[in-house]
Amino acid sequence: MPQSLGRVLGLLELLQASPSGQTVGRLAERLGVDERTVRRYATHLADLGIPVEGRRGRYGGYALAPGYRLPPLMFGDDEAVAVLLGLVAGRRTGLAGTAAATETALAKIRRVLPAALRARTDALLSTLDFAAAPRPAVPDTATGTLLTLAGAASAHRPVAITYAKPGAPPARRRLDPYGLVFHGGKWFVTGHDHGRGAVRRFRLDRIGEAEVLDGTFEVPAGFDPGADVAAGLASGAWRHEVSVLLHTDLDTARRRIPPTVATVTGTPAGVRLTARAERLDGMAQMLAGLGWDFTVESPDALRAELTALADRLRAAAGRRPSRP
């Protein structure tokens, strides 16, 4: 954990060990910082809701409110591992709101675990590694915005949001939020946009303000927020519209092709893949990697990309390693 965070929690530990309080000078000496820094740490603890009381006078200091004691968390081994790994995994997948929030949550939980269990979980966290690289950090999403929209979706209350697309001024929108979705390192809210008269999806990091309005709404029967966001991403405003007939069955296609990449539907002639793509070379590589026969319906430019890919593969297959 960051050194300053450890010292803030160290101050809490020193105050818990001295019910009558300690002077600022003594606390500074124990923590290895100056007196001004101790006062800043005390303010930080107070901001976290911990009742730190200042003592005035020449030898002024700090003490916790009478009777206050932070109890140990009564986690079992499985529960403690689940909570701590959940925070670590959330940070690596981009789910955690901010790195600082994750670190302070980890530090608080560690601080109040029983000593024996804390030693065991510390050993796990210090030796843990992941095969996959961590995702990039999630675009900043205000926690207040996330919680406001979640509460409105749960209570079926409409909201007014201020939404800003790149290169456009912020616009006020009225939305019936059907649900929140976390996908690809970003938060989305999906629901009925009153201005467009249709279901739309909005990235939370582009929402400046969110205000709950009077009234209620009903979510359409069977509406799936996750499927809606996935379908919206697959059919985004990209340059090329793609339609390919896959010679396989629908269940197999659904297992292999993510809904965020393309939409697959069953037809008498096979499975039709529809998607929008900014570049067709990536679509050609995906189709080749599936290993199925297929027929390109549109666009013709995709056939050219497939031909170019086939030429590169034939050339690579014909190369011989140079001999020393």
d(CA 207, CA 189): 10
Q: Say what the pTM is.
A: 0.56
Stretch 55-84: mean pLDDT, rounded?
A: 75
CATH fold of 3-64: Arc Repressor Mutant, subunit A (1.10.10)
Task: Give the model confidence (pLDDT) of 14-66 as tens digits.
Answer: 887 787 788 888 888 888 888 889 888 888 888 878 888 887 766 678 888 87
Q: Where are the domains of the chain?
A: 3-64, 77-127, 146-221, 235-316
Mind listing the pLDDT tens digit for each residue in 194-249?
A: 999 999 999 888 898 899 999 999 999 999 998 888 877 766 556 788 999 999 99
Query: Cα–Cα distance between 301 and 295 in angstroms, integer?
Result: 13
- pLDDT of amino acid 126: 82
The closest alpha carbon to 161, from 206, 199, 196, 216, belongs to 206
Query: What is the C-alpha separation between 243 and 273, in angstroms, rounded?
Result: 6
CATH architecture of 146-221: Roll (2.30)
pLDDT class of 97 with cuts at 50, 70, 90? low
Q: What CATH number was assigned to the domain covering residues 235-316?
A: 3.30.70
Q: What is the edge-to-edge ordering of all strands in the sheet holding 263-267?
A: 263-267, 270-277, 240-246, 294-298
More confident residue, 120 or 303: 303
Dihedrals phi, psi of 72, to nearest 5 degrees: -70, 145
